[in-house]
Amino acid sequence: MHDFRKFAAILMLLVFLPSVLFAVEPTIQIEPYHEGEFPDWLLDVRRAEIITLGSLPFTTLSVTLAYSIYRYAENDFDKDYFPNPLAKSSSAANLTSDEQIGIITVSAALSLATGIADFIISCVKRSESKKTEEEKASDTAQNVTITPLPANGGE
């Protein structure tokens, strides 16, 4: 076993050392994204996607806890049904396959609803901000008063 560890260490050294020694500067220059490179709706869709996938663990935990509390109350608060969303296995939580599928389905639907709600809110906010900018621009253009200077030097 000890010889295998030495062999593995030497092998890793031989494999990774040349890549460190002969590393070259990258020749490709990556440009950062520019303002306005992507349409607004695409940015909103990306944000909704991130929020949908980011909220999935939290909604799954919440739905599991809510369902466990419901089962605990439904079974007259029997200690065998005590809510434990962090059980090490599904057999410890005594969840059937159908119950697990139901929990995942409901949590995925709630995460999707969260993402869609954020998408709608983002679109409404962007629309309102564009309207206020347009109103400010039109108010500024209408309130400009041009006063000509007198021709005879101010008299």
Q: Is residue 31 part of a domain?
A: no
Q: Are 99 and 64 spatial neighbours (Cβ–Cβ below 8 Å)? A: no
Q: Is residue 63 part of a domain?
A: yes
Print pLDDT tens along the chain (155 aa): 678 888 888 888 888 877 777 766 767 788 888 888 888 888 889 999 999 999 999 999 999 889 988 988 888 887 777 777 666 665 556 778 898 899 999 999 999 999 999 999 998 998 888 888 888 777 665 666 777 888 775 55
Q: Is residue 135 part of a domain?
A: no
CA 53 to chain centre: 6
Q: pLDDT value at position 142?
A: 62
Q: Is residue 20 part of a domain?
A: no
Q: Is residue 118 part of a domain?
A: yes
Q: pLDDT value at position 116?
A: 95
Q: Are 59 and 114 spatial neighbours (Cβ–Cβ below 8 Å)? A: yes
Name the residue among 131, 146, 119, 143 with its Cα closest to residue 55.
Answer: 119
Q: pLDDT value at position 111?
A: 96
Q: pLDDT value at position 133?
A: 83
Task: Please state the domain count of the chain.
Answer: 1
CA–CA distance, 67 with 104 (Å, rounded to integer): 11
**pTM, entire model:** 0.62
CA–CA distance, 84 with 68 (Å, rounded to integer): 7
Question: At how many degrees (to 10) do helices 40-74 and 97-142 cross?
Answer: 140
Q: Is residue 150 part of a domain?
A: no
Name the residue among 88, 94, 90 with its Cα closest to residue 72.
Answer: 94
Q: Is residue 6 part of a domain?
A: no
Q: Is residue 115 part of a domain?
A: yes
Range of the domain at 106: 38-130
